[in-house]
Amino acid sequence: MNGQGTISFDEIRVDTSYIVEDGGKKADDTLKSLEFDREQKLTIVPTDDTEVRESLVHLGQPEALENESNRDRRDRLSDLLYQNPDIRAQFLERQAKSPSLETGPSEASESEDEEFYTPASGSLVECRQFLIQDSLGRARERLRNERGHADSQDVSTTIVQRRKLNAELSKYELWGSQVASSRPVSGVLLSPNQKSVACGSWHGDVKIIDSETLEILASFDAIHDDKIGGLDWSSDSTLLVTGGADRIVKVWKPSSPNDSTAVLKGHEGRVVKVKFHPSDRYVASASFDMTWRLWDVERQVELQLQEGHAKEVYCLDFQCDGSLLCSAGLDSIGRIWDMRSGQSLMILEGHAKPIYGVSWSPNGHHVATGSADGTVKVWDIRKVGNPFSILAHNNIVSDVKFDKVSGRTLVSSSYDKTVSVFASDSWLRLASLKGHTDKVMSIDISHDFSHLYSSGWDRSVKLWKLGVCNS
């Protein structure tokens, strides 16, 4: 309002010719770019990440950039089409020839999370119903034990015991070594009954070794046609699951390896890690095809094919209750999945390079990840925030393991040829063990902390012992 009357909003002149500080573009051009981006995403830019990747490759662009999410990749394609009319014409011509690349508004409006969600088959629904009941029982038992421990705990006594244990854990010594293959030994794992150690190699063979003497008890030379990436014991120590570069997952009995319990096929890339669910009814596998999959062991069928990582999935582990799974890989992130619904609950972002190892603590809320950036990060899933970061090694961290009874100890292996031992009450390094002559690829620890097992590029399995362990 002024002395000569009123001015309506329609009469106010809007100046969009000024220069935007970021990028040096006119505001008018920026607004047009945003409008173009909105319209293109609703009409021509695919929502499926596979189609976005194919489009970028066809246009002569990198398929994926480091740490690039699916949304970032789609934005990159949209920007490319806006900035170059010739590329846009080329893209539209390809779409006209390939109708499968067309994306309508109804697809674009769907939640981005849906590409990380597997529609449930009847078998998967039945599996999830079982997991709900099974995990609830395990969670109740875990919480009951924790309450009992808390009620009977004396703080001063606990501190004294912890200091004594930490002092003992600094005294590991190399006790023995066993050449276990003609190629690098990629995985070593102590059986739940603590009697045997299984080790798999890049030759495709598996050795069963006595946990005390390192004597080779059994040798299986043709379990896989190529590198064995992962192996795991069932909870009763009667079954082994292995995964290999031949893209196959096998469940078999060391007592009769020629009579496989299950041969699971479906992965389109190298299988890197495999894990039994705590119930032993299911197996999860991580693969270079950028998926992890859930298998029914008895029926020998794939229940769930889960996407969600932008690069190869390298490792995974089940939480002790069996309700959650953590997957991680070469995209440098971890994801926490709810096995009862199939949804991604949490993204673990913080590593600068690929993640090669993941392990849940028996307490159910700590998960550790080991990365090529040389760090081990410990995440507390009860809260959103920065993880505790341990400067663990001078090279790639190849594996991490919590002890599976108390979670009071965390161990890691590395390409710097060492094994590290950490206290879970402070995450301080208690020991750095040297004895391998080449990269260490895998590590495991006994229930009472008295034995450590490591394997690596020098083709050996090594046993580290404490003189006495008072836990």
Cα 13 versus chain centre, distance: 55
Contacts of 103 (CB under 8 A, 6+ apart): 43, 44, 45, 46, 47, 48, 51
Q: What is the mean pLDDT of residues 441-446?
A: 96
In terms of Cα–Cα distance, which of 447, 354, 458 is closest to 401? 447
The pLDDT tens digits for 217-266 are 999 988 999 999 999 999 999 999 999 999 999 999 998 867 668 999 99
Phi, psi for 451 (deg, rounded to 5): -125, 135
Structure tokens at 52: 């976005």
For the chain, percent of residues with pLDDT exceeding 70? 83
Stated length of the chain = 471
Average pLDDT, the chain: 85
Look at phi and psi of residue 351 and say left if phi exceeds 0, alpha if psi is from -120 to 50, else beta: beta
For the chain, percent of residues with pLDDT exceeding 90? 62
Q: What is the mean pLDDT of residues 442-468?
A: 93
User: Which pLDDT value is given to residue 157?
Assistant: 81
Q: Answer whether 168's CB lies under 8 Å from 470's CB.
A: yes
Q: Tell me the residue type at 210.
A: D
User: Which pLDDT value is given to residue 106?
Assistant: 38
Confidence class of residue 91 from pLDDT cuts 50, 70 and 90? confident
Confidence class of residue 25 from pLDDT cuts 50, 70 and 90? low
User: Which pLDDT value is given to residue 203?
Assistant: 94
pLDDT at 12 over 70: no
- Give the predicted TM-score (pTM) of the model: 0.74
User: Which pLDDT value is given to residue 17?
Assistant: 57
Highest averaged pLDDT of the listed ranges 34-48, 119-133, 379-393, 410-424: 410-424
Confidence class of residue 36 from pLDDT cuts 50, 70 and 90? low
pLDDT at 353 over 60: yes
* Structural domains in the chain plus CATH codes: 15-110 (no CATH), 122-465 (2.130.10.10)
Phi, psi for 38 (deg, rounded to 5): -65, -45
Residue 196 is inside which H or E element, if any? strand 196-201
pLDDT at 28 over 90: no
User: Which pLDDT value is given to residue 470?
Assistant: 43
User: Which pLDDT value is given to residue 109?
Assistant: 39
Q: Is 88 helix (H, G, I), strand (E, B) or coil?
A: helix
Q: Which residue has the higher pLDDT, 148 or 107?
A: 148
User: Which pLDDT value is given to residue 312?
Assistant: 96
Q: What is the mean pLDDT of residues 272-281?
A: 97
User: Which pLDDT value is given to residue 118?
Assistant: 47
User: Which pLDDT value is given to residue 39?
Assistant: 54
For 39, 173, 413, 446, 455, the CA distances from 436, given in Å and listed in that order, are: 59, 13, 11, 20, 8
pLDDT at 379 over 90: yes
User: Which pLDDT value is given to residue 417?
Assistant: 97
